[in-house]
Structure 1
C-alpha cells in the first residue's frame, strides 16, 4: 500500500498597487450637514416636549406662581408696596426662572443617556455633536416662553417698565442668553453624573446659592457685609442688574456688558467640557 503525499497548490497572490488603495473611513459631515442634523435633533427635542407636557411646568406655571407670590407677600415688607417692588422683582424672577429652566437640561440629558437613546445615535451617519447641540437649541424656546410669561404676569399686576418696548426686548434677550449659557454647566453635569437623580440634586445645590444669594429679590446694600461681597461677584447679580437697567431705564449700562462677558466666559469654559465628556461617552 502506497502513501501519496498531497501538496497544496502553489498560491499566486495578486499584487495590489498601494497607490490605488482607498481607506474606508466614516464620512465626516460637512458644516452645512452638521447644522441640518443639529436642527433635526432640536425638532426631536421639541416633539418630545409636546408629548410630555409636564416638562413645561417650570416654563408655564412657575413664572406665574413665583411672580404673584413674591410680589404680594414680600412687596410691602421690602419696598413699602407691591407697585414699588415690581421694578426690583420682575428682573429677579426672570433670572430665577431662566436658571430653573436651564437646570432641567442636565436631567433630561442624563435620562436619555440612561435609556440608551444616545447608543442608538451611534449607528446613525450624523455628527457626534448633533444629539447634544440640538436640545440646547430647542431649550432657547423654553427660555423665551418663560421670560415672556414672567413679564406679562408683571404687567398684569401693575408693572410698567420705563425702558419701553426696546428695553423689554433687550432684557428678555439677555435673559435667554444667560439661561442658555448657564445650561452648559448643567449639560456637563448631565454627562458626568451617574443618574438623573444625582444631576437634579447637584443642580439644586448650584441653583439656590446663585439665585437667593444675589440681588434678585433684595438690594445688596441691605445685606451683611460678608454676604454683600459675595452677592456683588455673583454672576446672577450682574444679569439681574443688567435686566433692571434695560427694563426700567432702557439703558445699556456697564452691567449689561459685564453680564454678556460673564455669559461668554461660562460658555467658553463649560461648552468644551460638556462636549468632551459627551464625546467620551459616545
Structure 2
C-alpha cells in the first residue's frame, strides 16, 4: 500500500488541433476586392474630372438628369457659355406666343417665363448633343442662344478658324450641316413659327458689285433648307430675310463674327 501511495500521478495533456491552421476563411478576400474596386473607381473618377471640360461634365450630368432647369437670364447665355453680342436687344414685352404647342400668357412675366423655359430646354438638348462627340462639341461653339423682343434666338456665327460657308459664298460647310441637324431636332420641342435672318460682314466700299444683300439672303435660305432636311416642318417657317451688313455685332463691321444666321422662335404676334 505504501508503495502504491508514493507513485507519481499520471498527467494526460490534450492538445486541441485546429484544422487548416493559418487559414482564416475567405471573407477578407471579398472585403479586399471591394476595397480595390472602390479605389479603382475613385481614381478613374479623379482622372475623368481632370481630363474633361466643365461643358463635357455638364453634358453628362444633364444626360442623367431629366429635370429641365429654367434659366433666369433674359439673354446673353450661349449653349456653351457664350455671350450675347447685342445685350441691348434683349428683354421682354407683353404679348402672346407659342411654346410647346401652348399659348403663352397675356402678361410680360408669364410670356417671358415661358420663353425662358423654351430657351433652357433647347440649351439642355444642344448641350446633351455636345456631350455625344467631340465633333458636335466643337460645332456648338458657333451657337449662342438668347431671349429678345422677337422671341428665342438661336444664333449661328462664324469663328476665325471655322467659317459656316465656303469661300465667301452660300455653300454650307460640314460644321453647319452638323449644327442644323441638331438644331432641327431641338426645335421639335415647340410648334412656334420660325424666322431665319441672314447677316454678313461689311465689304470694302470700293467694290463695284457689293454682295451683302444677295449673300445674306442666300445664306439664310441655305439654313432654312438645311433645317427642313433635318426634319423641321416646312410650314413652320414664316419668313427668310437677308439683312446684309446693316446690323454688325462688333466694333469692326468687317469682322468675321458678323457673319451669322439667326433662327428665331417667334412670339405669336410676330
- Structures share a fold, TM > 0.5? no
Normalization by structure 1: what TM-score?
0.27
Which of 1 and 2 has greater Rg? 2
Which has the larger share of strand? 2
Normalization by structure 2: what TM-score?
0.28
Q: Identify which of structures 1 and 2 has the higher relative contact order when contacts are C-alpha pairs closer than 8 Å and 6+ apart.
A: 1
